Structure formats: C-alpha cells, structure tokens
A and B are shown apart, each in its own frame.
Chain A
Amino acid sequence: MRNLWRFISNYNAFFLFLIFEVASLVIYIKNNSYQRAGFINSANNVAGGFYEKINGLYAYLSLKDVNDSLARENAHLRNLLKTSYYVDTVTRQKVSDTVYNQQYEYIVARVINNSVNRANNYLTINKGSKQGIATGMGVICSKGIVGKVIFVSDHFALVQSLLHKDSQFSAMLASTKEIGSLAWGEDMDPHKAVLKEVSNNAQPKLGEWVVTSGYSLFPEGIPIGKISSLRIKGGGYSLNMGITLSVDFSKLEYVNVVYNKFAKEQNALEAQQKKDE
C-alpha cells in the first residue's frame, strides 16, 4: 500500500493530468453533440473502411452476374419507355378562317423518319388513317410548309417532303400576292427552293416573304421562305426566283397535318370539269 502511494506521489503529475484530462474530455463530449456523434462515427470509420474494402473484392467476383441482371433490367426498362409506346391520342385544333369561310383542322403528329439528302425525300409521321389522315393532305410545321401526305396506313402516314422532285405547291409573294408555283431547286440543297411561273408584272424584292396562296392544300399565308435571288430566265412570260426555305427540314420533330374540310368537294368539282374537257 505504501509502495502504491509512493508510486502515485512520484508520478503525481501524470495522475493529476489523467484526472483533469478525463474530466475536461467528459465535459467536452457530454456538451457537444457533434463530438458525441463524431465519436461513434470515427469508431465506425475504421470498421466501415474494412467492410468497404472487403465488399469491393466481393463485388469484383460477382461482376458477371451483376452485368447480366443489369442488361435484363435495361431491356425491361426500355420496354417501359414512352418512346416505345404508340401514342393514340390525337390532338386536333380547329381554325375558323372567316374570310374564306373555310375550315381547316390540324392534326399534330411526330416525325419518326426523315431524310433530306436524297433526290426524293420522304418523311414518316406517327398518325395514320385511324386518326383521320388521308392521302393528299398538306403538312406544315410551326415555321412553314413541309409537304403532303401520299400514303396512309392505319397508324402511320408517308409524307412527300417539299424536297422532292415531284413536289409542287402554289405560292405567292406576301406583299403583292403574285402567284407562282413552288418546287425544289435543281441543286438539291435542303435549304433552297425555286418559285417559278410568277407573272412578268410582279416586282419581287430580295428578302421578301413567300407564303402559301390558299389555292392548294394549305391555308393562305403560311410562310415558305424568303426570296434569296432573282433569276430572270430566258425573258419569257414568267419570272423565276430562288427562295431560302424557312423550315429546317433536317430538324423536323412535330408537324401539323392540315385537314381541309372542303377538299373532297373541291376535288370532285374540279375532277368533273376535267372529265368534261
């Protein structure tokens, strides 16, 4: 016992240090929630670190199984994707054109196939006869005209783009309403078209808007493009001019199919006249 006392008094600095250090640490940890949490955390850091290392090893061994299951899950999820579903709701917007007392309806469709760099370009849209689309309808988009429907299936329709050798639409100069006929240019540039057969009296200016005339599939006044060059060919009865198209055909995404309510009647009437000739 005496030896113990002597030992303690010899090393009294250390024992006093221990007593006061423990006291202050107890105060510290009791009073600071962060250190209290941190104490447990730092203990966990060590154990957690080991667990993580071991887990990394296990994970490496089971890579193949994980890979297979991920691929399966991917396929499953892809099946659930919105794009793999067919959207069968149809949006129709009605536009009353009171001046011509004519009614157009627009059917929204998404372009699911498109080309711009061939001699004859077509695009496929995801609406078909079930949604009311018929052959011969015009197709426009927010920036201008796109083409016309040439084939229809139940759920899809094939659109002959403006960028097609046989495409020809009635157009006019926006300011003077001089009528011409719009076709794709010979140099197959997807941004250029040609306005032909404009009357000699017209005085087109560079940069002037060319719009639809209302005589063909489209309502009047839908923009087509701006005059980019005036080519007076041969000095005949008509003027030809180059047009920069306002629609970027390579970036088409959503289009509106124009449903002209009186198209059938008009066609029937005109067909009768042809028959008569």
Chain B
Amino acid sequence: MSKSILINLLRFVVLVFIQVFLLKNISLYNLSTPYLYILFILLLPFDIPNWLLFPIAFITGLTIDAFYDTPGLHAAASVVLAFVRILFIGITVQKDGFDNEPEPTLSNMGLRWFFTYILTLTLVHHFFVFSMESFNLAGIQYTIGRFLLSSLFTIILILISGLIFFRRKERK
C-alpha cells in the first residue's frame, strides 16, 4: 500500500514536471498541445475509493492550472476525467480482478483494453478542456481541430510511455 502511494506520488511529480516544463512549450503549429498529465489520473489504482479519486483529480487539475494560469479549467476537466474513469472501469472491469492487477497500465491490461481506455478518456478530457477554453461557437472548426490534434498527440505520448514502462508479465 505504501509502495503504491510512493509510486503514485513520484508519478505525479514527474508528470507535472514534464507537463509544465516541457510540454507546455511544445505546440505543433499552435494546434496540437498535449496534456500528458492526465496519465497520472488514468494510472491510479483500480481500488482507489471515489472519495479519494475526486480530490486527487481536483488537486492535480489545480496544480496544472496554477502553472497554466487558467484557474479551474484543468481542475474541472480532471474531475470530469475522474468521473468518466469510474464509469468506464465500472463497465469494463470485473471487480474481483483487482487484487492481481492493481493499476490500469498497458502491461497489466493488454493493448486493446488500454487503448480503448486512454482513447475514450483522453477524448473526453480534451474535448472538455478545449471547449471550455474557447467558450464560444464562433471558432468551432478551429477548436475541434485543436481538440482532435491535441488528443492524437496526447494518446501517442501515453502509448509511448506505456511501451517504455512495459513489463512483460505472465497473464492468467
């Protein structure tokens, strides 16, 4: 348990660091801006209780907001992300498998499930972020373009990180 806390704490620090000091400066043609920090919320253990998941998501979002000068935007998006995560996991994962597979990582869950998982959650989160950010329908094509390209970028980054930390494991 304490190991899990330590790993997640480390992951939080590293991901926020990467997000704020590296990815914040990366923007392909002003269209594609990845938000890799959501990986932290995505990789929280399966058995985390809801009363803990929401505050963690909220605080993660606020941390990012503090660096991005958008108070509330990423917090709101992260809370949405947490909610969708609960729904998605509730639909697709059997509850009794938690002991063996504590975290929804690529190595634990397999590519198909993991890809569907990050695709859905990234799209929801990014859609929320970009629509809240522009907050009108005037530049809707531009907003949608940014949303799709940024989602693509984020998904690629998440897959890469999943492959980097891939541990071959005997699956039952």
Contacts and interface: CB of A to CB of B under 8 A. Distances in A.
A17 B83 contact: yes
Nearest to B59: A20
B13 interface: no
Interface of B, helix, strand, loop or mixed by DSSP: helix
Interface residues of B, number: 26
- Chain B CB within 10 Å, residue with most, of A12, A24, A29, A45: A24
Contacts of A45: 136-137
Interface stretch (B32-40, B67-75, B103-111, B156-164): B67-75
Interface stretch (A35-43, A100-108, A126-134, A251-259): A35-43
Contacts of A17: 54, 79-80, 82-83
A5 interface: no
Interface on chain A toward B: helix, strand, loop, or mixed SS?
A: helix
A26 interface: yes
B55 interface: yes
A16 B55 CA distance: 9
A20 B132 contact: no
Most buried by B among A13, A30, A31, A41: A13
B79 A21 contact: yes
A13 B72 contact: no
Range class of the A interface residue count: 20 to 34
B51 interface: yes
Contacts of B149: none
B72 A20 contact: no
Interface string B31-51: 000000000000000000011
Contact of B86 (A13, A26, A27, A28): A13
Interface of A: 12-14, 16-17, 19-21, 23-32, 34-35, 38-39, 41-42, 45
Interface of B: 50-51, 53-55, 57-58, 61-62, 70-73, 75-76, 78-80, 82-83, 86-87, 132, 135-137
- 10 closest cross-chain pairs (CB), A and B: A28-B72, A27-B72, A24-B75, A24-B76, A17-B83, A31-B71, A20-B79, A16-B54, A38-B135, A13-B86
